[in-house]
């Protein structure tokens, strides 16, 4: 059944006019009057709806029952991803949503190929947030993970939350997930860009309390490393277990 995010209050039993972006999707999918769909506002739960009228520039649905469905993991995962180039960053965000990441923090590190600032940075973050919303529609999540504003790597190290496991993905790391003392309820992962973090950046992270984590004996690409680590966390302590 098609699922769509709407940034509006959804009152069960009331008519609701679909916003223009959702209307376009309805038209592309060639839905017809009487077809069922699901709406969610990103704050939890979802609402069953029936397409009651469909015109060229307007569509209305009849809202049904609100279903208090939660599909979030018991493990809250934040991903600090150094900005990667091309479609790699988009892929990481999309698949991170599917795997259950709760927060995304893009950072600019020394080896980040893409350099963004000002309006360009704001527009890119907005685009990344749109990718996250689309991934929620596809994956069934009813809460929208936040893509936080783009900041520098050094700025992030100063702001890193103290109440979570802080794990830095590093080919030079010696610690494995199985050796962590206890299962966390919150975890942050730090992944470098193409070429990885510099030795100076890794040293700064360790000085700030980040634990260098090794994923096997092979060197993983940036878009592989973060997603593999998220899947491993979910397997050990999240909703994969």
**So what's the pLDDT on residue 115?**
75
Helix axes 88-99, 118-139, angle to 10 degrees: 40
Q: Does residue 125 sit in the same domain as residue 26?
A: no
- Per the structure, how many domains does the chain have? 2
Which residues lie below 8 Å from residue 203, measured CB to CB, with a gap of 6+?
Answer: none
Nearest to 154 by CA among 118, 190, 122, 194: 190
Do 101 and 129 lie in one domain? The reply is yes
Of the three residues 67, 91, 112, the one that is the final residue of a domain is: 67
Query: φ, ψ for residue 19 (rounded to 5)?
Result: -65, 160
Give the per-residue pLDDT at 181.
61
β-pair type (36-40, 46-54): antiparallel
Query: 45: domain CATH number?
Result: 2.40.240.20
The reported pLDDT for the residue numbered 194 is 87
Range of the domain at 10: 3-67
Which residue, 67, 95, 123, sits at the end of a domain?
67
CATH number, domain with residue 101:
3.40.1280.10
Same domain for 146 and 51, yes or no, is: no
Which residues, at least 6 apart from 150, have a Cβ–Cβ distance to it below 8 Å?
Answer: 83, 106, 107, 108, 116, 121, 124, 125
Same domain (yes/no): 147, 95: yes
pLDDT, one tens digit per residue, over 146-171 is 999 999 999 999 886 767 889 999 88
pLDDT value for 111: 84
- Give 10-residue mean pLDDT values along the chain (241 residues): 93 92 94 95 94 93 93 95 89 97 94 77 92 96 95 88 84 79 84 91 92 87 92 92 79
| End residue of a domain, out of 50, 67, 84 | 67
């Amino acid at each position: 059944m098609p699922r769509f995010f709407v940034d509006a209050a959804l009152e069960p039993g009331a008519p609701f006019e679909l916003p223009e972006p959702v209307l376009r999707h309805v038209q592309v999918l060639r839905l017809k009057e009487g077809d069922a769909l699901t709406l969610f506002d990103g704050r939890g739960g979802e609402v069953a709806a029936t397409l009651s009228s469909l015109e060229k520039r307007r569509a209305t649905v009849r809202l049904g029952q609100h279903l208090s469905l939660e599909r979030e993991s018991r493990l809250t995962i934040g991903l600090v991803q150094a900005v990667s180039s091309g479609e790699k960053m988009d892929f990481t965000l999309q698949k991170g949503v599917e795997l259950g990441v709760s927060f995304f923090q893009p950072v600019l590190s020394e080896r980040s190929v893409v350099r963004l600032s000002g309006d360009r940075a704001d527009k890119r973050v907005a685009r990344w947030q749109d990718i996250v919303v689309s991934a929620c529609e596809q994956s069934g999540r009813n809460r929208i993970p936040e893509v936080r504003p783009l900041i520098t790597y050094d700025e992030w190290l100063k702001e890193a939350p103290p109440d979570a496991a802080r794990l830095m993905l590093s080919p030079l790391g010696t610690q494995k997930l199985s050796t962590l003392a206890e299962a966390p309820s919150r975890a942050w992962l730090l992944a470098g860009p193409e070429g990885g973090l510099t030795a100076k950046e890794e040293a700064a992270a360790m000085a700030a309390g980040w634990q260098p984590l090794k994923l096997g004996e092979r060197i993983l690409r940036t878009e592989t490393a973060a997603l593999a680590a998220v899947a491993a966390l979910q397997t050990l302590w999240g909703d994969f277990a």
